Amino acid sequence: MASKLWEKNVTVDHDVETYTVGRDREMDLYLAPFDILGSMAHITMLESIGLLSAQELQTLLNELRAIYEIAERGEFVIEEGIEDVHSQVELMLTRRLGDVGKKIHSGRSRNDQVLVDLKLFIRSRIEDLTNAMTRLFNALIAQSEKYKNILLPGYTHLQVAMPSSFGLWFGAYAESLADDLTIMRAAYEITNRNPLGSAAGYGSSFPLNREMTTRLLGFGSMDYNVVYAQMGRGKTERIVAQAMASVAATVSKLAFDACMFNSQNFGFIKLPDEFTTGSSIMPHKKNPDVFELTRAKCNKLQALPYEITLITNNLPSGYFRDLQLIKENFLPAFDQLIEVLDMVTAMVSQVKVNEHILDDSRYDLMFSVEKVNQMAKDGVPFRDAYKQVGLAIERGEFVSEKAVNHTHEGSIGNLCNDKITALYEQTLAQFGFHEYHNAFDALLGRV
Ligand code: ARG
């Protein structure tokens, strides 16, 4: 069966076909709804420059809307023997509509088609991802406020150092997510530019109206230079993967803290029993496997930008089939990170904190700096106060009040969670996701 868009008079070797198609029939399912939307914008533009009649456009749009609904219901399949999503959509159109289906590919290539599919996919997945980030952010801020007066030891070199608090601990990860969101926002900005019209990577002799497809797809602007548009394949994915890796690094650090704080030797937090797992040999075990898997999943996600770098590193400009393989780990990564974020949100919301950590005398010395500072405030030069307190500790005579009075910005007594929340919300508002939703609704005739 000559099922390739490009097959003419020679049928490709079966093993070569299997090898080159690879996992595309599975991977391209992620792209299906976006491929259809991209085609809708492309043909609307083709009609405007006289390459389709108004009647043909309407017929094609109606059929593409029907195919979109199939994809929305999760029923879109790439049939056996069909190479990719682009071929499948064209096949469905020609089966239903005949020759008019064969007209839609004027002025484009699968190279810019997959580019635009990826950009539309990423935009929508970044929206889902930021929603998951926001759920975790809110849970962290809520816990930080709830436990702001509960102290715990702060460590340097894993040695007991100075007083910290659960307010600081939870809030630190919230602020880290606020910075990760800034990076995600930059990745979104780069994604939100239209590559359609670059065709195979060198443009077209048709008088394409790229401004029009940019608007129809709700892009912020376009990748102007057609060669650069094609260079965006792999670069966009790497930048987005770097932003995802930043979120993963935040969560992975939190997961390690949680595993450590949950250990009996720390005993600072306790996971509810339903969130722990048992041992097959030791009847007493309640293990924090959830946080351990979170850590490993986040570490894998942090490998993604490097994998993409290695696939693209020594490629010159122009399209290469190498780029196809980026899809395999990149497309499923969004669901993986969202799953991690949602699990950690549940854990953070349910975790029990130990309100009596400081009853244990092993933490008494962490108040030494409070004592030194108090003496300095009373007029003793800091270095002298430091020495006096140090000698008292050596003699075993240091007694601490186990009280802190930290008032500056970002400290135990002044967490600035309102400022951190404002920063997060400002960044979130800049994404402007409604712009692409409005464009899609218009394309689908849902307004
Ligand atoms: N499956 C291909 C990819 O992901 C689609 C583009 C094919 N283009 C080509 N010139 N062979 O890259």
**Residue in this structure with the two tokens 């122009």, named with its chain if needed:** 318
- From the CA of 86, give the closest atom in ligand 1: 5
Q: How confident is the model at residue 5 (pLDDT cuts 50, 70, 90)?
A: confident
Non-local (6+) Cβ contacts of 270 within 8 A are 262, 351, 352, 354
* Ligand 1 pocket residue status of 115, Cβ below 6 Å: no
Q: Is 324 in the pocket of ligand 1 (CB under 6 A)?
A: yes
pLDDT 10s digits, 17-39: 999 999 999 999 999 999 999 99
Provide the token pair at 13: 């070797």
Percent of all residues in the chain with a pLDDT value above 90, rounded to a whole number: 91
Q: Quick one: pLDDT at residue 2? A: 47
Mutate to test the pocket of ligand 1, among 109, 321, 329 (most ligand atoms within 8 A of CB): 321
Instruction: Say yes or no to pLDDT of 206 above 50.
Output: yes
pLDDT of residue 3: 65
Closest Cα to atom 12 of ligand 1: 324
* pLDDT, average across residues 51-56: 98
Return the pLDDT at 317: 98
Which whole number is the average pLDDT over 138-157?
97
Q: pLDDT for 72-114, tens place per residue?
A: 999 999 999 999 999 999 999 999 999 999 999 999 999 999 9
> Domains in the chain, ordered, with CATH?
14-106 (1.10.275.10), 118-148+163-205+224-355 (1.20.200.10)
> Rounded to two decimals, what is the model's pTM?
0.95
Coil, strand or helix at 217: coil
Q: Which pLDDT value is given to residue 322?
A: 97
Cβ-contact 36, 217 below 8 angstroms: no
Average predicted confidence (pLDDT) for the chain: 95
Label residue 80 exposed, middle or buried (CB < 10 Å: 0-12, 13-18, 19+). Answer: exposed
Task: Give the residue with greater pLDDT, 274 vs 165.
Answer: 165
pLDDT at residue 381 greater than cutoff 90: yes
Across the chain, which distance is largest between two alpha carbons, in Å?
95
Query: What Å distances lie between residue 409 and 144, 168, 233, 248, 406, CA to CA?
Result: 15, 12, 43, 27, 9
Cβ–ligand 1 contact at 198 (below 6 Å): no
- Rounded to an integer, the average pLDDT of 273-302 is 89
DSSP string, 268-322: SEE--GGG-B--SS-TT--B-HHHHHHHHHHHHHHHHHHHHHHHHTT--SS--GG
- Ligand 1 site, residue 24, Cβ cutoff 6 A: yes
Nearest CA to ligand 1 atom 7: 110
| pLDDT level of residue 354 (50, 70, 90 thresholds) | very high
**pLDDT bracket for residue 7 (50, 70, 90):** confident
What tokens does 97 get? 């509509």
Q: Residue 52 in 3-state DSSP?
A: coil
pLDDT band at 282 (very low <50, low <70, confident <90, very high): confident
114 close to ligand 1 (CB < 6 Angstrom)? yes
- CB of 176 within 6 A of ligand 1: the answer is no
Q: Is 144 in the pocket of ligand 1 (CB under 6 A)?
A: no
**pLDDT tens digits along 56-67:** 999 999 999 999
Residue 233 Cβ inside 6 Å of ligand 1? The answer reads no
Nearest atom in ligand 1 to 110's CA: 6
18 CA to centre of ligand 1 in angstroms = 14
What pLDDT does residue 1 have? Answer: 44
Please state the rounded mean pLDDT for residues 361-368: 91
